[in-house]
């Protein structure tokens, strides 16, 4: 039987799983970790880095390191979310040729799908290493609230990575599959998924006969851990400005360090009541001295900074229950998914809202990937009795005269589905109609997402309203939309599968697939240790060179002596690990090396 990877391509972390001997299992990456940071970087030498290795060098190579690409996938250049990302990301985002979004790394331009493909390709490679056999089929998860453009672009990413994406499924639904797998229960459950980039809530009915039926789903594709980090960053930046009159946002490296520290503090505050944020030599004041950032953040303050974000999640839950026509007490189990649900304030709000303690039995980081693997196995093995009935998260329709949105398929309709409606011409002697396919929940068409358009020509000349055109919408099990229109008199028809909207044409996807193929060979033959070693050695040599000078300058202060001591021990650990060829340990030191290097540079370059 062919094996199918389940891939949770997260905003922050990617998790890969497979069903082994009937048991869903997470596949560890080459470093032995069960999740891989969804980060991609291009080094000065043009080398591609993915995952932990990309994350470790993010501070020193901020401009060429992409994180949270999922927030941009399938979005239009003009969307507010992209505008927001352009002003806050440490990497360069530009407009693509189809009004889409492209990323610039070391003077080369990439589509967002290509960046996601690099992560998927890495996943494919380590999974194949682990399984000791080639795997091409995959089920990839997307936030339930993703629209058609975002789903298409995710499928493109899979294709570029050389994967045959046999199904796209919604993340909360995947979580429910993993939760219900082998349990034989009949229950109505809510899956609350707050990850790095997106929030999703789904209400499902699971039955012991193996039917998983989604009743309602909703979410926000721009609400997640990144926004919580953003609040802490803002707080740090504002505080620093007040104290030193220096805007840290002007410095990409400082910003990347802030981001790192903010996320770390946020995570720590899930376990302790207060934490220290310490960023020595964060920036130079321009008056010949380096400035340090040092602040204490309490859990209470964090909660205050993020209160409205948590409230937004709860508001969406309220709406979803309404859509599902269910009362809170009809929800028999609440499942928490996503790293952000470790935050006590999030847990408390969920408990309070649903009036029950959430289920403790699922792993928030792994459950989505595991569910994707369960679905993958069921798709290739018909003996597995499992039926998944998902819904479309947004209404679908067309734009009619006067910019009105005419709905054909309401939100929360079970997919696959198809619906038809008859329209007429809006002007006298109109011989062509343009069908604008839209997705969204507003009555005003222009507020909704344009998925694609096509023209039906050759209509009979007649007074307005007399020519009838039937429009048919179809949504397949991936949640992907096809639309056709037919002149009822002549039978002439036009149709599209909404594709060009992912920002890539078919030819472009093919060209990228070909490029990716070339890369595959390269990625497999790279000796990982040699690469890491070279990078680490470069740092060690340069730090050693600066040592005497730095010591002379800072040894007079306690803080300085401590820093020197730390630097010494970092060098020692690195040299030791290089000698023992311990690639993982060398990599672990990389961030500390980069930090020390930067700090030393700051001291040395100061005039004394
Ligand atoms: N202990 C913790 N306390 C608070 N937040 C945490 C903790 N651990 C992880 N996080 C946050 O969880 C987020 C990552 O969660 P997760 O890995 O579930 O996201 P993802 O699946 O990559 O994203 P998405 O599902 O939105 O695409 C990050 O913002 C991270 O900072
Ligand atoms: Mg997730």
Is the CB of residue 231 below 6 angstroms from any atom belonging to ligand 1? no
Closest C-alpha to ligand 1, atom 15: 339
Of 312, 323, 10, residue with least CA distance to 143 = 10
- Cα-based torsion angle of the residue sequence 536, 538, 541, 542 in order, rounded to the nearest 10 degrees: -110
Judge if 434 and 542 occupy the same domain: no
For residue 366, being part of any structural domain is answered with: yes
For ligand 2, a single-atom ion, the residues with CB < 5 A are: 10, 195
What is the structure's pLDDT at 509? Answer: 58
pTM across the whole model: 0.81
165-185 burial, b at 16+ Cβ within 10 Å, e below that, comes to: bbbbbbbbbbbbbbbbbeeee
Judge if 231 and 219 occupy the same domain: no
User: Is residue 137 over pLDDT 80?
Assistant: yes
Q: How many domains does the chain have?
A: 4
For residue 213, being part of any structural domain is answered with: yes
Reported confidence tier of residue 92, pLDDT bands at 50, 70, 90:
very high
Is the CB of residue 267 below 6 angstroms from any atom belonging to ligand 1? yes
3-class SS at 336? strand
473-511 pLDDT per residue, tens: 999 888 888 999 899 888 888 877 664 444 555 576 566
Which of ligand 1's atoms lies nearest the C-alpha of 266? 4
Whole-angstrom Cα distance, residue 361 to residue 233? 33
497-553 pLDDT per residue, tens: 664 444 555 576 566 556 654 443 333 334 567 777 878 888 898 898 888 888 888
Judge if 422 and 543 occupy the same domain: no
What is the structure's pLDDT at 525? Answer: 36
Judge if 158 and 204 occupy the same domain: yes
Is residue 125 a contact partner of residue 111, using CB atoms and an 8 Å limit? no
What is the structure's pLDDT at 453? Answer: 77
User: Is residue 571 over pLDDT 70?
Assistant: yes
Judge if 89 and 207 occupy the same domain: yes
Q: Which two tokens stand for residue 563?
A: 């820093």
For residue 512, being part of any structural domain is answered with: no
For residue 410, being part of any structural domain is answered with: yes
The last residue of one of the domains, among 255, 281, 305, is 305
Distances (CA, A) of 81 to 16, 85, 259, 283, 398: 28, 6, 19, 29, 24
- Catalytic positions are 8, 70, 171, 193
Judge if 451 and 469 occupy the same domain: yes
Q: Which domain range does residue 231 map to?
A: 225-305
Closest C-alpha to ligand 1, atom 4: 267
Q: SS3 letters for 87-109?
A: HHCCCEEEECCCCCEEEEECCEE
User: Is residue 266 over pLDDT 90?
Assistant: yes
What is the structure's pLDDT at 528? Answer: 65
Per-residue pLDDT averaged across 318-339, rounded?
A: 96
User: At CB < 8 A and 24+ separation, what contacts does 60-65 make?
Assistant: 60/253, 60/594, 60/597, 60/598, 62/90, 62/91, 62/252, 62/253, 62/255, 62/256, 63/90, 63/91, 63/92, 63/105, 63/252, 64/91, 64/105, 64/106, 65/39, 65/40, 65/41, 65/90, 65/91, 65/256
Pocket residue to mutate for ligand 1, from 168, 195, 199, most atoms within 8 A of Cβ: 195
Judge if 233 and 155 occupy the same domain: no
Which of ligand 1's atoms lies nearest the C-alpha of 270? 3
Tell me the CATH number at 240: 3.90.640.10
Which of ligand 1's atoms lies nearest the C-alpha of 14? 22
Is the CB of residue 219 below 6 angstroms from any atom belonging to ligand 1? no
Whole-angstrom Cα distance, residue 108 to residue 245? 36
What is the structure's pLDDT at 498? Answer: 64
Is residue 388 a contact partner of residue 205, using CB atoms and an 8 Å limit? no
429-444 pLDDT per residue, tens: 888 888 888 889 888 8
Is the CB of residue 343 below 6 angstroms from any atom belonging to ligand 1? yes
172-185 pLDDT per residue, tens: 999 999 999 988 89
Non-local (6+) Cβ contacts of 550 within 8 A are 564, 600, 603, 604
Judge if 422 and 454 occupy the same domain: yes
What is the structure's pLDDT at 516? Answer: 52
Non-local (6+) Cβ contacts of 505 within 8 A are 98
Is residue 398 a contact partner of residue 43, using CB atoms and an 8 Å limit? no
Is the CB of residue 195 below 6 angstroms from any atom belonging to ligand 1? yes
Q: Which range scores top for mean pLDDT: 400-409, 411-420, 594-603?
A: 411-420
Is residue 145 a contact partner of residue 364, using CB atoms and an 8 Å limit? no
Is the CB of residue 367 below 6 angstroms from any atom belonging to ligand 1? no
For residue 465, being part of any structural domain is answered with: yes
Query: Which has the minimum average pLDDT: 34-38, 199-203, 414-418, 436-440?
Result: 436-440
Of 143, 169, 155, 50, residue with least CA distance to 338 = 143
Tell me the CATH number at 399: 2.60.34.10
CA of 198 to the centre of ligand 1 (A): 10
Is the CB of residue 39 below 6 angstroms from any atom belonging to ligand 1? no
41-85 pLDDT per residue, tens: 999 999 999 999 999 999 999 999 999 999 999 999 988 899 999
3-state helix, strand, coil in the chain (%, to 5): 40, 30, 30
Which of ligand 1's atoms lies nearest the C-alpha of 193? 25
What is the structure's pLDDT at 551? Answer: 86
Is the CB of residue 270 below 6 angstroms from any atom belonging to ligand 1? yes
CA of 193 to the centre of ligand 2 (A): 7
Judge if 443 and 481 occupy the same domain: yes
The last residue of one of the domains, among 253, 277, 305, is 305
What is the structure's pLDDT at 455? Answer: 80
Judge if 544 and 497 occupy the same domain: no
CA of 11 to the centre of ligand 1 (A): 8
Tell me the CATH number at 45: 3.30.420.40
What is the structure's pLDDT at 108? Answer: 95
Which is it for the CA torsion 516, 519, 525, 529, positive or negative?
negative
The last residue of one of the domains, among 333, 367, 390, is 390
Mean pLDDT rounded to a whole number for the chain? 89
Per-residue pLDDT averaged across 216-242, rounded?
A: 96
* Beta-sheet strands, E only, within 2-159: 4-9, 13-20, 23-26, 36-37, 40-42, 48-50, 65-66, 92-95, 101-105, 108-111, 137-142
Per-residue pLDDT averaged across 439-460, rounded?
A: 83
Query: Which has the minimum average pLDDT: 196-200, 375-379, 499-503?
Result: 499-503
Query: Which has the minimum average pLDDT: 85-89, 406-410, 448-452, 590-594?
Result: 448-452
Q: Which range scores top for mean pLDDT: 221-225, 400-404, 428-432, 538-542?
A: 221-225
Judge if 362 and 219 occupy the same domain: yes
Query: Which has the minimum average pLDDT: 16-25, 55-64, 459-468?
Result: 459-468
What is the structure's pLDDT at 399? Answer: 85
585-595 pLDDT per residue, tens: 888 888 889 88
Query: Which has the minimum average pLDDT: 232-236, 409-413, 546-550, 551-555?
Result: 551-555
Closest C-alpha to ligand 1, atom 1: 267
Reported confidence tier of residue 564, pLDDT bands at 50, 70, 90:
confident
Is the CB of residue 180 below 6 angstroms from any atom belonging to ligand 1? no
Pocket residue to mutate for ligand 1, from 7, 8, 9, 11, most atoms within 8 A of Cβ: 11
Judge if 424 and 342 occupy the same domain: no
């Amino acid at each position: 039987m062919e094996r199918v990877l389940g891939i949770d391509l997260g905003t922050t972390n990617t998790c890969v799983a497979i069903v082994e001997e009937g048991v869903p299992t997470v596949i560890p990456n080459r470093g032995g970790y069960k999740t891989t940071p969804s980060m991609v970087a291009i080094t000065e030498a043009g080398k591609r880095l993915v995952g932990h290795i990309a994350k470790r060098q993010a501070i020193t190579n901020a401009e060429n390191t992409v994180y949270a690409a999922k927030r941009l996938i399938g979005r239009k250049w003009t969307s507010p979310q992209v505008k927001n990302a352009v002003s806050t990301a440490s990497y360069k985002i530009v407009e693509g040729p189809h009004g889409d979004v492209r990323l610039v790394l070391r003077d080369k331009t990439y589509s967002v799908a290509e960046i996601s493909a690099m992560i998927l390709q890495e996943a494919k490679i380590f999974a194949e290493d682990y399984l000791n056999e080639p795997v091409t089929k995959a089920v990839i998860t997307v936030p339930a609230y993703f629209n058609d453009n975002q789903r298409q672009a995710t499928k493109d990413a899979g294709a570029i990575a050389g994967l045959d994406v046999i199904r796209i499924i919604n993340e909360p639904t995947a979580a429910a599959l993993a939760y219900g797998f082998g349990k034989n229960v009949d229950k109505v459950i809510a899956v609350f998924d707050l990850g790095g980039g997106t929030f999703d809530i789904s209400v499902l009915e699971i039955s012991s006969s193996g039917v998983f039926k989604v009743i309602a789903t909703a979410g926000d594709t721009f609400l997640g851990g990144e926004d919580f980090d953003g609040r802490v960053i803002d707080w740090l930046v504002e505080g620093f400005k007040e104290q030193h009159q220096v805007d840290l946002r002007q410095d990409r490296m400082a910003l990347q360090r802030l981001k790192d520290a903010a996320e770390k503090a946020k995570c720590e505050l899930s376990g302790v009541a207060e934490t220290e944020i310490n960023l020595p030599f964060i920036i130079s004041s321009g008056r010949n001295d380096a400035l340090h950032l040092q602040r204490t953040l309490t859990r209470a303050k964090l909660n205050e900074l993020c209160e409205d974000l948590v409230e937004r999640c709860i508001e969406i839950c309220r709406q979803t229950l309404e859509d599902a026509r269910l009362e809170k007490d009809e929800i028999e189990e609440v499942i928490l998914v996503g790293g952000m649900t470790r935050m006590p304030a999030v847990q408390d709000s969920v408990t309070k809202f649903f009036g029950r303690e959430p289920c403790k039995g699922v792993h928030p980081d792994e459950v989505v990937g595991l569910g994707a693997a369960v679905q993958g196995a069921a798709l290739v093995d018909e003996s597995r009795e499992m039926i998944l009935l998902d819904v479309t998260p947004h209404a679908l329709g067309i734009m009619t005269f006067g910019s009105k949105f005419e709905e054909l398929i309401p939100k929360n309709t079970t997919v696959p589905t198809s619906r038809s409606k008859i329209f007429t011409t809006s002007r006298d002697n109109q011989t062509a109609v343009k069908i604008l396919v839209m997705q969204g929940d507003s009555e005003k068409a222009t507020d909704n997402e344009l998925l694609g358009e096509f023209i039906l020509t050759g209509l009979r000349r007649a007074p307005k309203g007399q020519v009838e055109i039937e429009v048919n919408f179809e949504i397949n099990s991936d949640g992907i939309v096809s639309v056709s229109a037919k002149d009822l008199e002549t039978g002439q028809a036009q149709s599209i599968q909404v594709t060009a909207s992912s920002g890539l044409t078919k030819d472009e996807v093919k060209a990228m697939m070909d490029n990716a193929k070339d890369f595959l060979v390269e990625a497999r033959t790279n000796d990982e240790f040699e690469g890491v070693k070279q990078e680490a050695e470069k740092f060690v040599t340069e730090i050693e060179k600066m040592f005497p000078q730095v010591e002379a300058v800072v040894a007079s202060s306690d803080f300085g002596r401590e820093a020197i001591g730390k630097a010494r021990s970092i060098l020692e650990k690195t040299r030791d690990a290089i000698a023992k060829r311990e690639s993982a340990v060398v990599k672990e030191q990389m961030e500390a090396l980069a930090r020390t290097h930067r700090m030393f540079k700051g001291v040395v370059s100061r005039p004394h």
